[in-house]
Chain A
Amino acid sequence: MSKRQVYLDYNATTPLHPEVKKALHAALDLYANPSSMHEFGRSVRNRLEHVRQAIADFIGAKPEEIIYTAGGSESNNTVLKIISCARCGGLDFGQGRNEIITTSIEHPSIIQTAQHLESLGNTVHYLKVDKYGRVDVDHFLELISHRTALVSIMYANNEIGTVQDIKALTEIAHRYGAFFHTDAVQAVGKIPVNVAELDVDYLSFSAHKFYGPKGVGVLYVKKAKPYYALLHGGHQEGGRRAGTMNSLGIMGMGRAVELIRSEMEEIKQRLKNYKAKLRIEISKQIPDVTFNGHPEYNLENTLNVSFHGAEGEAILLYLDLEGIAVSTGSACSSGSLEPSHVLLATGVGPELAHGSIRFSLGRETTEDEIDYVLDKLPAVIAKVRKMSTVYSGECK
């Protein structure tokens, strides 16, 4: 009997949509360089420009505002590093603007890039968040000034699912003449995202978070906003991103965008119910748990829970033995020995950060799978707590 497999780690990555798989198969023989002038190249290029139009429509942008990248990390790096060239001419961040404001709960591709820029002499401020992971607006108003060049705030958090009010935050940034970027890697494909409505200047996302292939994504750059290429050495993307275009990946992403446009609402509604069930049953069946993230402004697919007195990596690996794939904010899982910076920023304390488990659901998740998890989870938590030096509560 083969072991049951339940994948609940969709925020890490998603399986390819079967239709995306077909599109990729069909695209495999379109080998020509899309930058070549001959018919071979032109026909591939034509498809990629079609996809660009479709992506632009999807997020409310113009096609020339879409830059293809290798994914979220590259898009995020590119935006932040524009500031490093504020002094090299041609880019107008305005006089004396050399500060970045971001948050303490960003993805490492923002936080570590910001730290790199600090080492180059820029000032970076890290916004505090409340206990639900929402940006502290008073703190933002305190930090923002006419020295602020760029504000970068993630749309939805990968670990706890908290969604920010990007429109309101953008409005504040613009009032001070600062540009606004949002890392929307966890938002695009899960909630409606429209750059015109949000009024953001830059936005990043990645195809593999919504059933497209890995290694391809987008950076939206609003027309006439400052830009400086991260990769030099080619005229691709209008000279904004050198390198032969990833035609296979882009075609896969294009199909994934078409599909998610029509499926998103249905998936959202279904996952909302599953998440509610998971949350209610966990609180019924397991004592001493804390749910992390905002109870209302949250992704429908993400449930982050801390099990008091139980260490996350041990929970993860016992669930893994039952065929259930989740992730944890425990230090031990990452190899870094530091627990989740996101949970620490929300003030839950190291013990609950080490004991946190993230369930992230997706389009292939079934109610039956949720039931299976609920069948296995209480025993796993009881087992880990039984050996815990810090759990004295009652376990079944």
Chain B
Amino acid sequence: MSKQNTWLYTDTVKEHFINPKNLLEDEENYREDGRGMVGNIKCGDQMLVVIKVEDNIITDCKWKTYGCASAIASTSMLSEMVKGMSVDKAYTITPEDIVRELGSLPSHKIHCSVLGDRALRKAVEDYFERTGQVHKIKQEQVKVICQCMNVTDKDIAEAVKKGDRTYEELQFRTKLGTVCGQCKEQAEELLHQYIHMYT
């Protein structure tokens, strides 16, 4: 067989998959300053991120996941990226930032890396709450409608502006409601609202 690189992912992703960094091993004795858990098994993945913080600087970040190879690799990468970073900066990390560090991910896999940054954001918010910095928590300007595919009300509004008029078109563009389907009713309601607002 050819020895060429036929791996599904980039070398960086593969390396993080084979040797994941900063795995949370001794959960019971880990004294975290912030903790965030997102996702659910129904959708196929779940992510836990914990952080230690000194003077608003992240000194340690550990994680666990029930997730696929790119969930493992992207969170491993994220845990390396944030060490030594201020909590304020960590709070703004986007999926694109993680994907950039990894080289790339297959497009249908980007959903997985989104979990890591969301779990981190929740961990940072937890830290803000514990340390009396609640004012730093940004009121969620967006609301996640489809938990499985991480599609927000803002994404739905954007889709309507781009011309989507039916639930099927919305599903096709955003992948909303393509996993567990629980959000269908809420999504349809928003769809009609936005169609009224923008057309």
Pair from one complex: yes
* Interface size in chain B (residues, C-beta < 8 A): 35
Q: Which residues of B contact A338 (CB under 8 A)?
A: 178-179
Q: Which segment of B42-50, B85-93, B133-141, B152-160 sits at the interface? A: B42-50
In the bound complex, do residue B18 and residue A354 qualify as a contact, i.e. CB atoms below 8 Å apart?
no
Interface string of B8-24 (1 = CB under 8 A from A): 10000000011010010
Of B17, B41, B178, chain A has the most CB atoms within 10 Å of the CB of B41
Q: Which residue of A lies closest to B106 (CB)?
A: A335
A342 to B149, CA, bound (A): 22
Kindly state whether residue B68 has any CB partner on chain A within 8 Å.
Answer: yes
- Given A332-B44, A337-B44, A338-B179, are A314 and B68 neighbors across the interface (CB < 8 Å)? yes
- Given A331-B179, A337-B148, A350-B42, are A311 and B18 neighbors across the interface (CB < 8 Å)? no
A287 to B64, CA, bound (A): 20
Kindly state whether residue B197 has any CB partner on chain A within 8 Å.
Answer: no
- Given A314-B72, A338-B179, are A388 and B66 neighbors across the interface (CB < 8 Å)? yes
In the bound complex, do residue B37 and residue A389 qualify as a contact, i.e. CB atoms below 8 Å apart?
yes
Interface string of A317-346 (1 = CB under 8 A from B): 100010000000011110111110000000
In the bound complex, do residue A390 and residue B66 qualify as a contact, i.e. CB atoms below 8 Å apart?
yes
Kindly state whether residue B84 has any CB partner on chain A within 8 Å.
Answer: no
Pick the residue among B25, B71, B149 that contacts A337 (CB under 8 A): B149
Kindly state whether residue A386 has any CB partner on chain B within 8 Å.
Answer: yes
Interface string of A353-396 (1 = CB under 8 A from B): 01000000000000000000000000000000011111100000
Interface string of B102-145 (1 = CB under 8 A from A): 00001011011000000000000000000000000000000000
A339 to B23, CA, bound (A): 26
A77 to B162, CA, bound (A): 36
Pick the residue among B20, B108, B175 that contacts A387 (CB under 8 A): B20
- Given A332-B112, A337-B108, A338-B178, are A387 and B44 neighbors across the interface (CB < 8 Å)? no
Q: Which residues of A contact B1 (CB under 8 A)?
A: 5
In the bound complex, do residue A339 and residue B17 qualify as a contact, i.e. CB atoms below 8 Å apart?
no
A390 to B175, CA, bound (A): 26
Kindly state whether residue B74 has any CB partner on chain A within 8 Å.
Answer: no
A310 to B46, CA, bound (A): 11
A311 to B112, CA, bound (A): 13
In the bound complex, do residue A311 and residue B68 qualify as a contact, i.e. CB atoms below 8 Å apart?
yes
* Residues in B55-80 with C-beta less than 8 Å from chain A: 64-69, 71-72
In the bound complex, do residue A389 and residue B23 qualify as a contact, i.e. CB atoms below 8 Å apart?
no
Q: Which residues of B contact A330 (CB under 8 A)?
A: 44, 68
Q: Which residues of A contact B47 (CB under 8 A)?
A: 389
Interface string of A281-320 (1 = CB under 8 A from B): 0000000000000000000000000000111011001000
CB distance from A371 to the nearest CB of B (A): 22
A62 to B98, CA, bound (A): 62
Q: Which residues of B contact A310 (CB under 8 A)?
A: 66
Pick the residue among B18, B64, B148, B175 that contacts A388 (CB under 8 A): B64
A23 to B20, CA, bound (A): 48
Q: Which residues of B contact A350 (CB under 8 A)?
A: 41-42, 44, 180
In the bound complex, do residue B44 and residue A314 qualify as a contact, i.e. CB atoms below 8 Å apart?
no
In the bound complex, do residue B25 and residue A311 qualify as a contact, i.e. CB atoms below 8 Å apart?
no
Q: Which residue of A lies closest to B8 (CB)?
A: A317
CB distance from A338 to the nearest CB of B (A): 6
- Given A332-B44, A332-B112, are A387 and B68 neighbors across the interface (CB < 8 Å)? no
CB distance from B198 to the nearest CB of A (A): 28
Q: Which residues of A contact B180 (CB under 8 A)?
A: 350
A333 to B106, CA, bound (A): 12
Q: Which residue of A lies closest to B109 (CB)?
A: A332
Pick the residue among A5, A309, A337, A389 that contacts B179 (CB under 8 A): A337
Interface string of A1-18 (1 = CB under 8 A from B): 000010000000000000
CB distance from A244 to the nearest CB of B (A): 33
A314 to B42, CA, bound (A): 17
6 interchain residue pairs of minimum CB distance: A332-B68, A313-B68, A331-B44, A351-B41, A389-B46, A389-B64
Chain B contact residues, CB within 8 Å of chain A: 1, 8, 17-18, 20, 23, 25, 37, 41-48, 64-69, 71-72, 106, 108-109, 111-112, 148-149, 175, 178-180
In the assembled complex, 14 residue pairs joining A and B whose CB atoms fall closer than 8 Å, in A order, are: A5-B1, A310-B66, A311-B44, A330-B44, A331-B44, A332-B69, A336-B178, A337-B43, A337-B111, A337-B148, A338-B179, A388-B64, A389-B46, A390-B66
